[in-house]
Structure 1
């Protein structure tokens, strides 16, 4: 009887982590852990650049939405270069293929997210909500958001009220069947809960 692959677990890496001194250690640890992880990156300074350009060029929210997704794609490419053990994946099938090889998948979001007409094209939707959307799409067992700051409360509504996640995140997170949590990067590197990444 063929062995069943475990359900994927999404780890969303906030854009603010791009300049964090422990980023490389975290990426390397996640790559070593491998399947069934799926990493989702924020847009970081590349998305900040889109925000800065919008008023200067008079860009629409719809255009900025697509540009911000491409910023996430570029950040994923950068993370794949930092930690070559991660495997870029742009479809659910590619994620399954990465896991079949025992590797952690690193989501390249442009192909799926730009084709998803149900996603609002506004700044109210950020990479956090996209990670929750992907969790539903692939039936993830867990969604962990790695942030620079700790969660201000136990529920996604608390996180949105504090500005730690985007305002649409609670509604997207409500459709995730698995656990949804926030951890800090230091806690993730030291002891992620499902086995130490520092090992």
Structure 2
């Protein structure tokens, strides 16, 4: 089978359509110029993130049941190099309850919660089109493929070549997937961390978000120095709201 690429302008978006000539049908559609919105100082500014700079996206586990998550993830990744770190979601909630009831040690619950993030990475790989999965993040981030979200199996990495990073993650429920994503971003030299959530933020400072329970308690400390953003993946249109990290607020 071979593919002919055809470009069309549709509602201001340039679509590249791969036509599977053997079967005379459309096999794949990729957005090559997307309609992301950036929000700064209360103003929505249209932007396409076309500079291709690397981004770590912490994707909340509560988003895994979003029916169009695949489309939204590709839209978010358009024009960008994106490493996706899924949250633990419902699986991590089970681990938390078992820990609360005394069924697990702190170390056991810590690693089982991390493995729940890897489980969700595998779930994304098996259910969404257009994503890749990685067991590590070594190498030059500039080599990440633009427009193709890469989902990290974080458990495999932290138990292997990322052991030095694993030692920085405290075995406490005060440091969950939000903090882990911040630690990973800092460790691999990526300046931008976007929190993909199911709601709007309750403030613009990381300390306020931690106080409201929208991020974990350790997040303000571990996210120092990062460029932080928030994206409500359940909103009608994706947009980024830029936040203030702890050191920026001081």
| SS of alignment partner, residue 145 of structure 1 | strand
Normalising by structure 2, we get a TM-score of 0.66
Return the alpha-carbon distance in structure 2 between the equivalents of residues 80 and 39 of structure 1: 11
Contact between 2:54 and 2:142, CA under 8 Å: does it hold in 1?
Answer: no
Report deviation, 1:6: 4.9
Return the match for 2:158 from 92, 103, 113.
Answer: 113
How many residues get paired? 186
Return the alpha-carbon distance in structure 1 between the equivalents of residues 58 and 168 of structure 2: 21
1:141 aligns with 2:188: no
Report deviation, 1:95: 7.7
Normalising by structure 1, we get a TM-score of 0.81
1:87 aligns with 2:121: no
Closer/same/farther in 2, CA of residues 96 and 78 from structure 1, 3 Å limit: same
Return the alpha-carbon distance in structure 2 between the equivalents of residues 164 and 118 of structure 1: 22
- Name the structure with the higher strand share: 2
Contact between 1:27 and 1:79, CA under 8 Å: does it hold in 2?
Answer: no
Instruction: Report the counterpart of residue 24 of structure 1 in structure 2.
Output: 70
Report deviation, 1:56: 4.5
The answer for unaligned runs of 5 or more in structure 1 is 194-199
Instruction: Report the counterpart of residue 196 of structure 1 in structure 2.
Output: none
Instruction: Report the counterpart of residue 192 of structure 1 in structure 2.
Output: 239
Larger Rg: 2
Contact between 1:8 and 1:139, CA under 8 Å: does it hold in 2?
Answer: no
Closer/same/farther in 2, CA of residues 53 and 142 from structure 1, 3 Å limit: same
Report deviation, 1:169: 0.2
RMSD between superposed Cα atoms in Å? 2.6
Contact between 1:89 and 1:95, CA under 8 Å: does it hold in 2?
Answer: no
Instruction: Report the counterpart of residue 172 of structure 2 in structure 1.
Output: 122
Report deviation, 1:174: 0.6
Residues 160-171 of structure 1 mapped to structure 2, 5 A cutoff: 160-171=210-221
Closer/same/farther in 2, CA of residues 191 and 56 from structure 1, 3 Å limit: closer
Closer/same/farther in 2, CA of residues 55 and 29 from structure 1, 3 Å limit: same
- Name the structure with the higher helix share: 1
**Over residues 67-109 of structure 1, what are the superposed CA-to-partner deviations in whole Å (9 max), with x where a residue is unaligned?**
0100000000101112242111122227849715763211110
Closer/same/farther in 2, CA of residues 146 and 44 from structure 1, 3 Å limit: same
Instruction: Report the counterpart of residue 39 of structure 1 in structure 2.
Output: 84
Return the alpha-carbon distance in structure 1 between the equivalents of residues 91 and 143 of structure 2: 26
Contact between 1:38 and 1:95, CA under 8 Å: does it hold in 2?
Answer: no
Return the match for 1:8 from 47, 54, 61.
Answer: 54
The answer for unaligned runs of 5 or more in structure 2 is 1-50, 241-250
| SS of alignment partner, residue 92 of structure 1 | coil
| SS of alignment partner, residue 214 of structure 2 | coil
